[in-house]
Structure 1
Amino acid sequence: MTRIAIILGSTRPNRNGPQVAQWVLDSASRRGDAEFELIDLRDHPLPHFDEPVPPMFGPSVHAHTRAWAERIAPFDGFVFVTPEYNHSTPGVVKNAIDHLFAEWADKAVGFVSYGVDGGVRAAEFLRLVCSALRMAVVSHQVSISVLTDFENHTTFTPNDRHAATLDRTLDQVVAWSTALTPLRSAVTVA
């Protein structure tokens, strides 16, 4: 069965991300075409990237990076749930991505973003980063406004449009994750 990780990319106190990520997980779990699991970056505190060589050139020397690699490697695809901070994604997301290479390669990725303008710039930033890691970036994405899609800016209230867009995003992530299986089978992840 195809395995998809939903990665929650906010670690700040009083964050809105858990509501959005849980909505994604609940919606995804009703599907029968893949297994979905939530990974909260708060549970995986990584220091600023501290490996002596880039991940594409050799194995990690630090236990925290090896543990992160072991957590990510089994998945066939990903959905990043990210807020937008200052026209980009939070540094914790980029840092978590930068710690690995082979564990991301030849896997599909989709985005659920949120912010004042729906978090679209954070998703666009991640599209560039993930493409550089040989990830298949799907075209559909969910964009959630903290001004109109949260009651009192704190309680997430998804609407039918969000649900339909999430379904299309998940359809693409699962399809591309499945289609990329032969490429992943040809590579051994360290």
Structure 2
Amino acid sequence: MTKIAIVTGSTRPGRINDQVAKWVLEHTLPRAEAEFEIVDIADYELPLLDEPFPAGYQKYQNNHTKVFSSKIAEFDGYIFIVAEYNHSVTGALKNALDYLNVEFNNKAASFVSYGSKGGARAVEHLRGIASELQLAHVRNQVMFSIFSDVENFEIFKPAETSTSALDAMLDQLIPWTRAMEYVRNQALVVRAS
């Protein structure tokens, strides 16, 4: 079964990121084409990158990295919940992504974002990072405004119409995720020959 992680993008106390992730998970439950699971980066307590070797070598020295690597490697695709801080991704998400590399290679990704401009600027930065990690990212994304979709800047209350945007994104992500499974298998064949 195709497995897709819903990856949180913030560890800040009082964040709404986990609320957005739970909303996404709730709306993916009726889908039979894939299994979805929340991966909360806050659970891994990753310090500022403290691995001595580049992530591409997978010579992880620290247990927190090994545990995080193992979890991320389980999945075929990813939905990143992207909070926009200072026109970009959060430091916590960037740090988490910097810990790994191979675990993301030849997999698919999509983005659910929020911020003053719907998180669009953060996703544009994240698309560059995703490309470097060899993640095939789909065009469709879901964007929320912190002014109209978040009550008092603390309670996530999306408009009903948001589910159609999520469905359109999933309709792209799931086939791309399956297609990238084929790409990964072909890459293994090439390496073996």
Distance 1:177 1:59 in 2: 27
Q: Tell me whether 1:39 sits opposite 2:34 in the alignment.
A: no
Q: Mapping of 1:46-125 within 5 angstroms?
A: 46-125=46-125
Runs of 4+ in 1 over 4 A off after TM superposition: none
Q: Mapping of 1:147-166 within 5 angstroms?
A: 147-166=147-166
- Which protein has the bigger helix share? 2
**Matching residue's letter, 1:28:** T
- Which residue of structure 1 aligns with residue 182 of structure 2? 182
Deviation at 1:187, TM superposition (A): 4.0
**Matching residue's letter, 2:157:** T
Q: Secondary structure in 1 aligned to 2:139? A: strand
In structure 2, the gaps of 5 or more residues are: none
User: Normalization by structure 2: what TM-score?
Assistant: 0.92
Alignment size in residue pairs: 188
Residues 56-98 of structure 1 show CA distances to partners (whole Å, capped at 9, x for unaligned) of 1342122211111101001000000021000011111011111
**Matching residue's letter, 1:53:** F
Distance 2:51 2:149 in 1: 40
Q: Secondary structure in 2 aligned to 1:64? A: helix
Residues 2-58 of structure 1 show CA distances to partners (whole Å, capped at 9, x for unaligned) of 000001111111111121111100001111110000011110111111222211134
CA distance 1:54–1:187, shift in 2 (3 Å): farther
Deviation at 1:133, TM superposition (A): 0.9
User: Normalization by structure 1: what TM-score?
Assistant: 0.94
Q: Secondary structure in 2 aligned to 1:42? A: helix
Deviation at 1:165, TM superposition (A): 0.9
- Which residue of structure 2 aligns with residue 127 of structure 1? 127
- Which residue of structure 2 aligns with residue 25 of structure 1? 25
Residues 129-176 of structure 1 show CA distances to partners (whole Å, capped at 9, x for unaligned) of 000111101100111001011222322222233111111111211111
User: What is the identity percentage for the equivalent residue pairs of Structure 1 and Structure 2?
Assistant: 45
In structure 1, the gaps of 5 or more residues are: none
Deviation at 1:180, TM superposition (A): 0.9
CA distance 1:22–1:64, shift in 2 (3 Å): same
**Matching residue's letter, 1:172:** Q
Q: Secondary structure in 2 aligned to 1:13? A: coil
Q: Secondary structure in 2 aligned to 1:47? A: coil
Residues 90-135 of structure 1 show CA distances to partners (whole Å, capped at 9, x for unaligned) of 1110111111111001010000011111111111111000001111
